[in-house]
Amino acid sequence: MNITRENIDELNAVVKVEIAKDDYSPKVEKILKDYRKSANIPGFRKGHVPMGLVKKQYGQAVLVDEVNKLLQENLNKYLTEEKLEVLGNPLPKEQENFDWDKDDYAFEFELGLSPKFEVDVKTEKPITHYKIVADDEMIENQIKTIQKQYGKLVAKEEVEEEDLVAGIFKNEEEGIENTTTLPLEKLKGKRNLNKFLGAKVGDVVTLKTKSLFEDDHDLIEYLKVEHDQAHDLDVEVTFEITEVNKQEPAELDQELFDKLFGEGNVKSVTELKEKIKEDAENQFKQQSDQQLLNDVTEALIEKTNFDLPAEFLQRWIMVSGEKELTEDEAKEEYEKSEKGLRFQLIEGKLIQENELQVQLDEIKEMTKERIKMQMAQFGQMDPSEKDLEDITARVLSNQDEVKKLSEQVMNQKLLDFYKENINLEEKELTYENFVKEVYK
């Protein structure tokens, strides 16, 4: 067997694979002999079928199969040994009137080569690294939410603002009859709210579904109508009040603190506010870091210029999927994926040049930390090392999960690398202002 390469240019090459009879013949002969032993052909005893008949019936199929196996094995071996960085997969060149009756064969494959380029992570203009802080208003709102969530319901006779009103929505013609609990804060506008204020258990309130809630989708939940019916529904419904409750906020006491954060971990309102601020800003840090990754990605793509074997990649996209695409479809698909491919190459180069390798111990450590966080949400603040090891082992027995975790570890390594090496400018702002600035 002989393999040669002709470089068309820096991004395209053609590999020629020449296969002689001696390369495939021994294997083909062996397979046909095995077929002869087991062939069941009418008129012949098993194992006594003439070899000529076996070759006539199975010969070309076996030959094609073995030649294709040789092609794939040796082409892949050649690409590895030559250390060729290819994009996509080799594309076989079409050969008209190919003759399988010959002894020797030649096949040609087009290659799309990875471009040569350098990556400089220093940008002229600093990239913003946001530091998102939890302000006093956010902390106070979170405390109110906690008090409401852990508060208790107190039954009462007469409806006032912010009460929870249980009852039955009805409209016979539309087939509406649903028992529900309605938070009055869900209602849209003073007119709807005023119909409830002062009402008592047993009273019936008449309402219009149009503009009853800020979001028409709430009709699905509280009236139990279909999704399509909820949009533009404009009918009268009655609401018979069966129960009125006021939600009294939970006391900010040690019992609540222990319930939220474990026994003795928070001992005062001041410490509660500090804990809420710390937890919120840890979550914000994840969003800030993700935004930094996004911004660095865009900056490096814009700054790092190189050509791609675009025509080759479009032809490869045409034939590489489950369904063959047209030229226009392949071109459109290439244009969608080009930016991602560019960054994949840039990222790969950074990983290789800076030896950012993922180790199994790092994956295990990340898995343990995730498990600890999840268990803490359910009040298990101090799991044993054995429990952590057992759960980690179960998680890492799933190869898809290992792949996902490996990517997350690598993202963290890249993030740390960017923070150390890229020209960054820190900007402190509240979460509300972060959303306004980033998502506009």
152-248 topology per CATH: Chitinase A; domain 3 (3.10.50)
SS3 89: strand
Long-range contacts of 308-312 (CB under 8 A, 24+ apart): 308/11, 308/87, 308/112, 308/115, 308/338, 308/341, 308/342, 309/11, 309/12, 309/87, 309/112, 309/113, 310/334, 310/338, 312/11, 312/12, 312/87, 312/88, 312/91, 312/110, 312/111, 312/112
Q: What is the CATH number of domain 268-439?
A: 1.10.3120
Let me know if 223 is exposed, middle or buried by CB neighbors in 10 A (0-12, 13-18, 19+).
Answer: buried
What is the structure's pLDDT at 378? Answer: 73
What is the structure's pLDDT at 96? Answer: 84
Q: Taking phi first (over 0 means left), then psi (-120 to 50 degrees means alpha), and beta for anything else, what does residue 189 get?
A: left
* Residue 396 contacts residue 402 (beta carbons within 8 Å): yes
Residue span(s) of the chain under CATH 3.30.70.1050 come to 2-113
| Residues in the chain, overall count | 440
Residue span(s) of the chain under CATH 1.10.3120 come to 268-439
What is the structure's pLDDT at 373? Answer: 82
Query: What angle (nearest 5°) sits at the alpha carbon of residue 213, between those of residues 212 and 217?
Result: 120
What is the structure's pLDDT at 381? Answer: 67
How far apart (Å, rounded) are the C-alpha atoms in residues 318 and 316? 5
Answering whether pTM is above 0.75, one says: no
Q: What are phi and psi of 114, to 5 degrees?
A: -70, 135
The encoded tokens of residue 35 equal: 């077929």
Which are the contacts of 32, defined by CB distance < 8 A and separation ≥ 6? 51, 54, 55, 58, 59, 62
Residue span(s) of the chain under CATH 3.10.50 come to 152-248
Q: Mind listing the pLDDT tens digit of every residue in the chain (440 residues)? A: 999 999 999 999 999 999 999 999 999 999 988 888 877 777 787 777 888 888 888 889 999 999 999 999 999 999 999 999 999 999 999 888 889 989 999 999 999 999 999 999 988 899 999 999 999 999 999 999 999 889 999 999 999 998 999 999 999 999 999 999 999 999 999 999 999 999 999 999 999 999 999 988 999 999 999 988 888 899 999 999 999 999 899 999 999 999 888 888 899 999 999 999 999 999 999 999 999 999 999 999 999 999 999 999 999 999 988 899 999 999 999 999 999 999 999 999 999 999 999 999 999 999 998 898 888 777 676 788 888 899 999 999 999 999 999 999 999 999 999 999 999 999 999 999 999 999 87
The radius of gyration of the chain's CA atoms, rounded to the nearest angstrom, is 35
Bridge partners (DSSP) listed for residue 222: none
What is the structure's pLDDT at 272? Answer: 95
2-113 topology per CATH: Alpha-Beta Plaits (3.30.70)
What is the structure's pLDDT at 232? Answer: 83
What is the structure's pLDDT at 379? Answer: 67
What is the structure's pLDDT at 310? Answer: 96
Comparing CA positions, the residue from 221, 183, 12 lying closest to residue 110 is 12
